[in-house]
Amino acid sequence: MLDVFSGTTPLPNGLQVKSGNAILEVRAMRDDVVRVRVGLKDKLPEDASWAVLAGARQSSANVVAENNSETVGFRTNTLRVKIARSDLRLSVSDLEGNILQEDAEGWPVTFHGQDFRVYKKMPEDEHYFGLGDKVGPFDRRGQSFVLWNTDTFEFQESTDPIYKSIPFFLAFRKGRTIGVFLDNTWCSNFDFGKASRDIYSFGADGGPIDYYIIYGPDPKRVLNTYAWLTGTAPLPPLWSFGYQQSRYSYETENRVREIATKLRAEKIPSDVLYLDIDYQQQNRPFTVDAQRFPHFADMIRNLRQQHFHVVTITDLHIARLAESKYFPYDSGLAGDHFVKNPDGSLYVGPVWPGPSVFPDFTRQSTRDWWGGLYGNFVSDGVAGFWNDMNEPSVFFTATKTMPPQTQHRIEEPGFAKRTANHLEIHNVYGMENSRATYEGLLKLTPNLRPFVLTRATYAGGQRYASTWTGDNSSMWNHLRLTTPMLLNLGLSGFGLSGADVGGFAGTPQPDLLTKWIELGTFQPIDRNHTAKGTGDQEPWVHGTEHESIRRRYIEERYRLLPYLYTTAEEMSRNGMPIVRPLFLEFPSATEDGHPLDLDAPNQFLFGPSLLVAPFRFPDELDSYAVVLPAGDWFDYWTGERLPKPGSQPGLTRVTVQPRLDVLPVFARAGSIIPMQPLTQSTDEVPQGPLILRVYPGPNCGGALYQDDGTTLDYKKGNYLRMNFSCEAPTGSLRVHIGAPEGSYRAWWKQYEIQIFGWDARAARVLLNGKPDVVASSVDPQHHVLTLGLPGNGEADLQISPLP
């Protein structure tokens, strides 16, 4: 029990406090990150982690001890930590004295057997985000959650737990943010004021009390520091941002070819086709059904010629097939790679292929063996891999997974080499599965960026795989659910995610599929997928009227690829998600400091500059209000500047009448958005100019990142990065295209610059000080000035209105 103060030991980076034979240790890893650990029986828990990067774990900041008659503690250059001598309550504040987190009165930490629980005061105006894609409202306040990876086919709005466990959340109060990461892989749970109105708490059924408090105050800074702690998503191949078409399953080679041909014939831009379990022989991973797919390698090659990348599912369960010459089973058995029962026998559980065995992914040697299984598919030209069912899902059992006492062997730097039971490993099992795939692919093709899609994962899993939200349903409320799920995933390190477009279970009505494809355009991963036995869900299935709307949105995604890819590259460096809640970009948008998202449910930012505003109730016909943060905004589709909210600075409210063919999108004044001419796939080199959409406004700027899209050569300098800026000194406009950095060569030879909010009838333009080089035209109806100029390097434009 942590209650009686019985002594303290200062450390260069923190302190230890003793309470009987319990130890509370708080260390500063940086000025803005503290790690809290508690151990019983005079011992701290094992200092090891599946999530935290080794480099970060060793990081340490010097502190100044601060002790008085009431508290012991320390300060860093940013934070002050105090522990009360009376009851060992911990509080963390900034140096101005703003309390950032404080243990609750009475019971800061409790233990019941192996379980523990940590209680914190919950201010009335604090809001909570994160924990991955847990369903329910975007703000976690008032809700509680269990983290235990679970296969939840047809999950609904209140289903919990679901597929992933990411024990990281943000607490946001009056524009000030902290992040809290509980690094515990056991079944854990979080309660944000549900059990008790003014307390939030977290705990687990076992494992260490080991948590990190990350200070912002800016929420972006918290995400950036969380990325420092647990890693970022590596830059994925460009093709993964194209439109992806899937279903459970395209059952024959002919059907797959038919879909590919139809996508091209219908001119639906697309890049990726998925093969779900039925391409395999009786659902056995790493096999191909030669009857239904007689020319598998040829098919992959032909599809590649049609500019498709194929992603195949490779589930982790290996069919238990003794003496059947099934290589994954035989080689796995020979190498002792499968999870065992406590008596040393193999654990066998039924999944898609029938009785199956399960790789012991917590061992390096097993991960290496697993990675090697991809050799044939990689040589056949399969471009990416889909790791499903890795909670792991086990059929016909009440728990839907392996028994708790199943044995896993740990071989991992930082951990003692030991056997752990499933209760400890369950929540990292899927992450280690995707890690084995990712690392295996890198070994097989060392200069190619792997693409791995996983269903289950844990904190830090973003380093290995992108993810999707599992088996949603083709219902209007699931379309609504998509946005908070992806936003919270993005705030939990997983910026690269999608929800099945059109819904998995069931068949969408035509309007629903159309609205879903519209929203999918602005998802990090845009994959249309549906279950077995449902109606077809490709964009053309409901006639030409629907198809043309759907096509238009998918086309827009392709036009926006330079912007989307630039945002993804930023994510790979600093952990900023692609889709962002409003408070991330505008943390002080409201007068009383509450997150703006509470007033604007389901609105989100796609990258830094575009605000997407679906109706929260997408099936309703009533008009609704879009809430825009202070500053000017432009209608992305018409180009028009929105009327100002009057002379008062503050939020703008725009009333929108829902229309089937419009998903409202707004561009933020002060942005420059790079775009490209339409292509039918990411293989195709865009023909024509690089388009820069300039929305003049304060701090006007933008960026562009390009590279070859598939290899790791960008790490050796083969990329192109450009920065853009604009200024509006009185009466005129200056646009600057910065000098390209890096050795990658641009595809364009001209620029087309579109300037929005242009009120004059014509323009006089100087390019690098010279007149008469730039062609210009004005669209007076939409107030757009378009400039065409040669070049792909640095350029400076001075633009003055002509009456």
Binding site for ligand GLC (CB under 6 A): 153, 248, 276-277, 313, 388, 455, 470-471, 504, 529
Give residues with Cβ within 8 angstroms of 244, minimum separation 6. Answer: 270, 271, 272, 273, 274, 311, 525, 526, 527, 528
Whole-number minimum distance, CB 354 to ligand GLC, in Å? 15
Retrieve residue 336's tokens.
Answer: 């002792």
Whole-number minimum distance, CB 314 to ligand GLC, in Å? 11
Minimum CB distance to ligand GLC smaller for 314 or for 427? 314
Whole-number minimum distance, CB 445 to ligand GLC, in Å? 25
C-alpha angle with apex 793: 791 to 796, nearest 5 degrees?
Answer: 90
Q: How many CB atoms lie within 10 A of CB 70?
A: 10
Dist. CA 621–CA 619, nearest whole Å: 7
Give me the helices (H) in 357-404, please. Answer: 364-372, 375-380
C-beta separation of 320 from 282 below 8 A: no
Active site residue 391: yes
- Of 360, 471, 585, 752, which is the active-site residue? 471
Whole-number minimum distance, CB 151 to ligand GLC, in Å? 7
Q: φ, ψ for residue 420 (rounded to 5)? A: -120, 150
Dist. CA 513–CA 517, nearest whole Å: 6
Whole-number minimum distance, CB 135 to ligand GLC, in Å? 15
Give residues with Cβ within 8 angstroms of 379, minimum separation 6. Answer: none
Q: Point out which residues pair with 454 in neighbouring strands.
A: 387, 467
- Of 388, 432, 547, 707, which is the active-site residue? 388
Q: How many CB atoms lie within 10 A of CB 290?
A: 10
CA separation, residue 504 to residues 74, 153, 350 (Å): 52, 9, 23
Active site residue 388: yes
Minimum CB distance to ligand GLC smaller for 240 or for 671? 240
Dist. CA 90–CA 72, nearest whole Å: 10
Minimum CB distance to ligand GLC smaller for 384 or for 607? 384
Minimum CB distance to ligand GLC smaller for 286 or for 636? 286
Instruction: From 179, 163, 274, select the one nearest 217 (Cα to Cα).
Output: 179
Whole-number minimum distance, CB 168 to ligand GLC, in Å? 23
Taking CB positions, which residue lies at the least distance from ligand GLC? 248
Dist. CA 411–CA 420, nearest whole Å: 11
- Of 391, 500, 597, 707, which is the active-site residue? 391
Minimum CB distance to ligand GLC smaller for 128 or for 504? 504
* DSSP summary character for residue 461: G
3-state secondary structure 199-262: EEEEEECCCCEEEEEEECCCHHHHHHHHHHHHCCCCCCCHHHHCCEECCCCCCCHHHHHHHHHH
Give residues with Cβ within 8 angstroms of 152, minimum separation 6. Answer: 159, 161, 162, 163, 470, 471
Whole-number minimum distance, CB 192 to ligand GLC, in Å? 28
Minimum CB distance to ligand GLC smaller for 161 or for 581? 161
Minimum CB distance to ligand GLC smaller for 467 or for 488? 467
Whole-number minimum distance, CB 352 to ligand GLC, in Å? 7
Minimum CB distance to ligand GLC smaller for 532 or for 552? 532
Give residues with Cβ within 8 angstroms of 163, minimum separation 6. Answer: 133, 149, 150, 151, 152, 391, 430, 455, 456, 469, 470
Annotated catalytic sites, by residue? 388, 391, 471
